[in-house]
Amino acid sequence: MTDGRHGVAVDSGVEVPVPADDENWVVGAIIFDGAGRVFAQKRSAERRLFPGMWDIVGGHVDGGESILTALAREVMEETGWRLLRVRRLVEKSTWTGDDGRGVRHEVDYVVEVEGDLARPALEWSKHSEYGWFGPEDLPRLKENVAPGDWFIHDLVARALRERSDAARR
């Protein structure tokens, strides 16, 4: 399936929810490099939500936006890369932040992008650094995070594990 407006391919069987008007949605993009590592960026210390924590590419779905439109926009805004394909859904969750915006529904996908992976065009006002994370790098994703609140760590670990399992088949 391809999203005609953006030319984003979606692999067969991948769930793409349709947000209701009264729901807050968040999208996340798990981006692998050629070495099988996942891209993450550290949120700046000034951010209201999750300051100083590592995060995957993503953000809020704006009013009237589809999940795919938001995913493509966030990838472009946060890295300068173009979203090409949505490979699989890794996580669908619901959570509440401490910023007063209420309950959010989140979908996180493994995606393919086009662009220079060695030179992401970070939003430096929102992020202080970036890195590529393989299994040996996972402990860094727990920096500045309270024990037990390791969503990004666990999400990246799961994506790495599923990719490794698929490669063995």
Whether 49 shows a pLDDT value over 80: the answer reads no
What is the model's pLDDT at position 8?
93
Which candidate, 144, 75, 142, places its Cα nearest to that of 108?
75
Higher pLDDT among residues 48 and 87, named by residue? 87
What is the model's pLDDT at position 148?
77
Q: Which helix (H) or strand (E) holds 76?
A: helix 67-79
**How many structural domains is the chain composed of?**
1
Q: Which helix (H) or strand (E) holds 79?
A: helix 67-79
Q: Which domain holds residue 64?
A: 2-168
Give the span between the Cα atoms of 41 and 110, in whole angstroms: 16
- φ/ψ region of 7 (left if φ > 0, alpha if ψ in -120 to 50, else beta) reads left
Give the span between the Cα atoms of 57 and 90, in whole angstroms: 14
CATH code of the domain in which 146 resides: 3.90.79.10
Give residue for tokens 């490979």.
Answer: 87
Whether 145 shows a pLDDT value over 90: the answer reads no
Higher pLDDT among residues 98 and 102, named by residue? 102
What is the model's pLDDT at position 4?
44
What is the model's pLDDT at position 6?
57
Whether 149 shows a pLDDT value over 90: the answer reads no
Mean pLDDT rounded to a whole number for the chain: 91
The percent of the chain in helix, strand and coil, each rounded to the nearest 5, is 25, 35, 40
- pTM for this model (two decimals): 0.92
